[in-house]
Amino acid sequence: MRRLVVAALAIGLLGGCATVRTLNANKPGAPLVYAGTRLDLYVINGGCCPKDRFGADAPGYPQLDLPGSMLLDTLFLPLSLLTAAGVGVQATGGL
């Protein structure tokens, strides 16, 4: 039962993850590499208008989201580097 609660909580929080939000952003000129981590740090440091810069709203609790975003951004690093270099990987969004 405990595993089910943890899994449900993780799935619920995933929708608020900055990395997932920037993947769907599809904003031209948005940061590509470590976009979710950068979004969290931007908001933590008092940056205004994250939607204008990143194409996505910041999560409600960026300090809590930061470790998960760092992990996911690290997992997506090869794809984001290829996308930033212009290699045709068919990836869009803020990553």
Whether this prediction's pTM lies above 0.95 is answered by no
Q: Is the pLDDT assigned to residue 95 strictly greater than 50?
A: no
Question: Which residues lie below 8 Å from residue 55, measured CB to CB, with a gap of 6+?
Answer: 22, 25, 26, 27, 30, 93, 94
pLDDT in tens, 52-62: 888 888 888 88
pLDDT in tens, 13-47: 555 688 888 877 777 888 889 999 999 999 999 98
Can you give the pLDDT at residue 93? Answer: 58
